[in-house]
Amino acid sequence: MNIDFSFQNPTRIHFGRTAMQHLPEELANFGSNVLLMYGKQSIKKSGLYDEVMNLLHQAGKRVCELPGIKSNPAYRQVLQGAQLVREHNVDLILAVGGGSVIDCAKAISVSAYCEGDPWQRYWINGEKVSNPVVPVASILTMTGTASEMNAGSVITNEELKVKQGRVFPLELVAPKFSILNPEFTYTVPKYQMVSGIFDIFSHLMEQYFSGEDDCVSDYLLEGDMLALISAARAALKNPQDYEARSNIMWCATMALNKILALSKTQDWEVHQIEHQLGAYTDCAHGIGLAIVSVPYYRHIYRYGLHRFVRFAKNIWHVPTQGRSDEQVALEGIACLSSFIAELGIPQTLREVGATEEMLPLIAESCNKCGGYHVPDTAEVLEILKACY
């Protein structure tokens, strides 16, 4: 744990089949005006909308609504929500949905009372938030982003074709409480489920593939990866397997609530590339990550060979006897590729609607960072071509 850190995560988690029972006691901590946000119609079909609305009314809340949050939440929706918050003097923003809805709720929470253009100030300039922030809470229906227990907010500016993430301080923006009932995820279509699973796996790899020291966080990241692989396989066999779905849900939260990232430098370049892929194609986030990951790691493994050998041994149980480190590392990446295939995820960009013309635009526009190596535009283009 060579890198100093300060850490506190303020989110209270209620997890399990009975989690919703805690909503009334949590609502009692906030004022009367609630902005209820959600995505498409699925929470109306499942009955969750009615259940939440009843509990809100029983708690004496006045509710305004912002439905239709997109899976890549749009900046124009943030501005809509910010206006609702001001008009209705909102005391609590309650996001019911997956990471997109919660990310959008956080964006609204910091934008509502921001002077000037929040996009420019908070997502582009990365300015410190000094205006009042409206509390956010969440009821999770789709797992993957860990937005339920962190302060990240990824927003797409459709006009500018830029998808940009910002990590705010946890104490300001992380949900005050989050309700996680794994049964709510049963109705998520398989494509979205595996997208979420790979999003989680990618979060773990982005944190893992960096650093030279023998860091506790790396062992914990490995533990979460192994738990996720096991749960994913069980959920593929039976999507109604509570144990599997609950494990996936908790793997997701732990993967990005920051506690496994402590004292770690990190990578996050796969996410940067995918953000621009998403801005151009609107493809599901986890699917885009899966497609880009294999050629990305094949490109950078030689810069952090020891870590890719460790990944192969500890995660995929690749035998090492009589093999070079290079061979072991590459077999580890091949195992990752097989796992993606096992999840039934497409392996090429053209399958998610990318065109050849988009590739240089994505390569040019994505942020460049990295763990063991920071690729330049030409390298990103090469990576994109390798999975086109």
CA distance 248 to 233: 10
The answer to whether 178 touches 98, Cβ cutoff 8 Å, is no
Taking contact as CB under 8 A, which single stretch among the options 82-90, 153-161, 226-234, 345-353 is the one that binds its own copies?
226-234
Taking contact as CB under 8 A, which single stretch among the options 99-107, 155-163, 244-252, 345-353 is the one that binds its own copies?
244-252
CA distance 72 to 99: 9
Can residue 12 be called a binding residue for its own copies (CB under 8 A)? yes
Least spacing, CB of residue 68 vs its own copies, in Å: 31
SS3 34: strand
Can residue 210 be called a binding residue for its own copies (CB under 8 A)? no
# binding residues, its own copies (CB under 8 A): 49
Taking contact as CB under 8 A, which single stretch among the options 1-9, 130-138, 290-298, 352-360 is the one that binds its own copies?
1-9
Pick the binder of its own copies from 50, 65, 213, 342 (CB under 8 A): 213
Beta-carbon contacts of residue 266 (< 8 Å; ≥ 6 apart):
206, 207, 210, 371
Can residue 209 be called a binding residue for its own copies (CB under 8 A)? no
- Would you say 252 or 352 has its CB closer to its own copies? 252
Can residue 222 be called a binding residue for its own copies (CB under 8 A)? yes
Beta-carbon contacts of residue 45 (< 8 Å; ≥ 6 apart):
187
- Would you say 87 or 213 has its CB closer to its own copies? 213
Tell me which residue of 97, 171, 335, 142 sits closest to 252, measured CA to CA. Answer: 142
CA distance 132 to 112: 8
Taking contact as CB under 8 A, which single stretch among the options 115-123, 139-147, 229-237, 324-332 is the one that binds its own copies?
229-237
Question: H or E element: which one contains 74?
Answer: none
Taking contact as CB under 8 A, which single stretch among the options 9-17, 79-87, 133-141, 366-374 is the one that binds its own copies?
9-17
Instruction: For the segment 310-329, give every residue that binds its own copies (CB under 8 A).
Output: none
Conformational region of residue 282, where left means phi above 0, alpha means psi within -120 to 50, and beta covers everything else: left
| CA-based R_g, the chain, Å | 20
- Would you say 103 or 224 has its CB closer to its own copies? 224
Instruction: For the segment 246-275, give every residue that binds its own copies (CB under 8 A).
Output: 246-247, 249-251, 254, 259, 262-263
Instruction: For the segment 148-167, give every residue that binds its own copies (CB under 8 A).
Output: none
Residue 126 vs residues 14, 118, 165, 167, 169: alpha-carbon distances, Å: 31, 10, 10, 9, 12
- Would you say 11 or 192 has its CB closer to its own copies? 11
- Would you say 229 or 362 has its CB closer to its own copies? 229
Please calculate the CA angle 252-348-327 and round it to the nearest 5 degrees: 75
- Would you say 223 or 239 has its CB closer to its own copies? 223
- Would you say 7 or 355 has its CB closer to its own copies? 7
Q: What is the largest CA-CA distance in the chain?
A: 69
Least spacing, CB of residue 228 vs its own copies, in Å: 8
Give the dihedral of Cα atoms 183, 253, 196, 265; nearest 10 deg: -170
Residues making up the chain, counted from first to last: 388
Can residue 16 be called a binding residue for its own copies (CB under 8 A)? yes
The answer to whether 74 touches 120, Cβ cutoff 8 Å, is no
Can residue 239 be called a binding residue for its own copies (CB under 8 A)? no
Taking contact as CB under 8 A, which single stretch among the options 2-10, 332-340, 350-358, 372-380 is the one that binds its own copies?
2-10
| Phi, psi dihedrals of residue 94, rounded to the nearest 5° | -105, 115
Pick the binder of its own copies from 67, 223, 346, 360 (CB under 8 A): 223
Can residue 104 be called a binding residue for its own copies (CB under 8 A)? no
Pairing of β 162-167 and β 152-157: antiparallel
Least spacing, CB of residue 148 vs its own copies, in Å: 12
The answer to whether 93 touches 135, Cβ cutoff 8 Å, is yes
Binding site for its own copies (CB under 8 A): 1-19, 22, 182, 213-216, 218-224, 226-227, 230-231, 234, 242-244, 246-247, 249-251, 254, 259, 262-263
